[in-house]
């Protein structure tokens, strides 16, 4: 597998987003199956594991901590603060005292004395970014975290934060069908020497061809509320999906692998973290980092799927106002 740098260490290019194992897409797998997937990921080369206090309101950190405890010295562990569950509800809170409390709770759940990369999950616009990053910088000084990351921020916010303390990574949705990072954040990361960690790199399953009927989503599946999976946008987006399937066939790979290969080709500082509950999909995703796909096929994929051809916003309006990223 290709290797890339994050937090001044080298890891395999494709990591694992662990959210799916506890959160967001309906009923998660049981602990035994989830543990088996995490350990299988390590066995086949994953070293970059990404979780958050929000996922399952702490359950995901507990799962990752228990499953990977014996492997802790051999992995790059990332988690997030600033968005947690409080009394069963999602709350964004970037106050320094809240971030410090969340870290101590995370360390206990993860069964470790430090987290390699700790992100501010969302910028709380009631708190200056400088104050939140200041708290994170004190975590670095104490040795409880190795580096600071930001999630879903604009280039302007990134630069403000970086002036307080170096930002090692920015994590934002990025894929063929979500190109907001191309407006300014990718350039800012390149300029500042920050890695860019791409979540939902196969468009929450859509670019894998696995979403046939959104009406079949589980009741608690977050995609039910996302405009791109609703009428009329879903039908419009399926109109070009067959062309992507044909391109993948031409390339001799799966649709998901084509989407991941396109993302890897956008820059050496980009690290995708696809998530899955399926062992077969896990192995399929990791296989993308070993493919050599003709640049013309990747170019055509980018022309077929982009912000001009995708229909619908990526988040519902109530969620979008919480996001700091630039919008087309």
Q: How far apart are CA 160 and CA 14, in angstroms?
A: 29
Residue 176 lies in a domain: yes
- Our answer to whether residue 55 is catalytic in this structure is yes
What CATH number does residue 316 fall under? 3.20.20.100
Whether residue 1 is predicted with pLDDT greater than 90 in this model: the reply is: no
Give the chain's domain count: 1
Secondary structure of residue 98 in the 3-state scheme: helix
Residue 326 lies in a domain: no
Can you give the pLDDT at residue 154? 98
- pLDDT, average across residues 68-94: 97
Q: How far apart are CA 233 and CA 171, in angstroms?
A: 26
Secondary structure of residue 128 in the 3-state scheme: coil
C-alpha distances in angstroms, 88 versus 3, 5, 10, 21, 68? 39, 37, 38, 18, 27
Residue 112 lies in a domain: yes
**Reported confidence tier of residue 298, pLDDT bands at 50, 70, 90:** very high
Cβ burial, residue 217 (10 Å; 0-12/13-18/19+): middle
Six token digits for residue 56: 């399952």
The answer to whether 9 and 36 have CB atoms below 8 angstroms apart is no
pLDDT tens digits, 149-198:
999 999 999 999 999 999 999 999 999 999 999 999 999 999 999 999 99
Residue 286 lies in a domain: yes
Residue 232 lies in a domain: yes
CA-based Rg of the chain, rounded to a whole angstrom?
19
Per DSSP, which regions of the chain are E strands? Answer: 3-6, 9-12, 16-17, 48-50, 76-81, 83-86, 89-92, 115-120, 145-151, 167-173, 195-199, 270-272
Q: How far apart are CA 227 and CA 306, in angstroms?
A: 16
Q: How far apart are CA 57 and CA 180, in angstroms?
A: 28
Six token digits for residue 144: 């409880």
By percentage, how much of the chain surpasses pLDDT 70? Answer: 100
Residue 159 lies in a domain: yes
- pLDDT, average across residues 282-291: 97
Can you give the pLDDT at residue 17? 98
Residue 328 lies in a domain: no
- pLDDT, average across residues 89-111: 98
Output the CA torsion 1→60→69→257 (10° steps). Answer: -10
* Catalytic, out of 55, 118, 174, 315: 55
Instruction: Compute CA 208 distance to the chain's CA centroid, rounded to the nearest angstrom.
Output: 16
Secondary structure of residue 163 in the 3-state scheme: helix
pLDDT tens digits, 19-40:
999 999 999 999 999 999 999 9
C-alpha distances in angstroms, 66 versus 28, 31, 32, 63, 77? 17, 10, 11, 5, 13
Residue 327 lies in a domain: no
Per DSSP, which regions of 36-82 are E strands? Answer: 48-50, 76-81
Residue at token pair 């990752």: 64
Domain enclosing residue 244, as ranges = 3-320
- pLDDT, average across residues 243-256: 98
């Amino acid at each position: 597998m290709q290797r890339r740098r994050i937090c001044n260490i080298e890891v395999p290019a494709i990591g694992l987003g662990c959210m799916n194992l506890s959160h967001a897409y309906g009923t998660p797998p049981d602990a035994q199956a989830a543990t088996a997937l995490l350990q299988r990921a390590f066995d086949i080369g994953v070293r970059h594991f990404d979780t958050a206090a929000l996922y399952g309101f702490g359950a995901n950190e507990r799962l990752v901590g228990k499953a990977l405890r014996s492997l802790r010295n051999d992995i790059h562990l990332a988690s997030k603060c600033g968005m947690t569950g409080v009394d069963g509800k999602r709350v964004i809170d970037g106050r320094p005292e809240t971030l410090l409390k969340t870290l101590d709770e995370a360390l206990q759940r993860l069964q470790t004395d430090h987290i390699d990369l700790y992100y501010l999950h969302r910028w709380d616009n009631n708190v200056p970014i400088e104050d939140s990053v200041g708290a994170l910088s004190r975590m670095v000084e104490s040795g409880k975290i190795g580096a600071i990351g930001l999630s879903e921020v604009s280039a302007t916010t990134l630069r403000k934060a970086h002036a307080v303390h170096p930002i090692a990574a920015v994590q934002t949705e990025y894929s063929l069908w979500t190109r907001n990072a191309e407006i300014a954040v990718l350039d800012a990361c390149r300029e500042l020497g920050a890695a860019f960690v791409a979540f939902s790199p196969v468009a929450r399953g859509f670019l894998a061809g696995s979403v046939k009927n959104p009406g079949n989503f589980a009741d608690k599946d977050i995609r039910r509320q996302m405009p791109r999976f609703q009428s009329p946008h879903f039908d419009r987006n399926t109109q070009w999906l067959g062309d992507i399937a044909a391109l993948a066939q031409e390339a001799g790979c799966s649709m998901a692998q084509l989407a991941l290969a396109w993302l890897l080709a956008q820059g050496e500082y980009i690290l995708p973290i696809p998530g899955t509950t399926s062992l077969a999909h896990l192995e399929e995703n990791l296989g993308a980092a070993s493919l050599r796909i003709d640049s013309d096929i990747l170019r055509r994929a980018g022309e077929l799927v982009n912000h001009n051809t995708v229909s619908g916003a990526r988040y519902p309006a109530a969620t979008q106002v919480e996001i700091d990223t630039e919008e087309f």
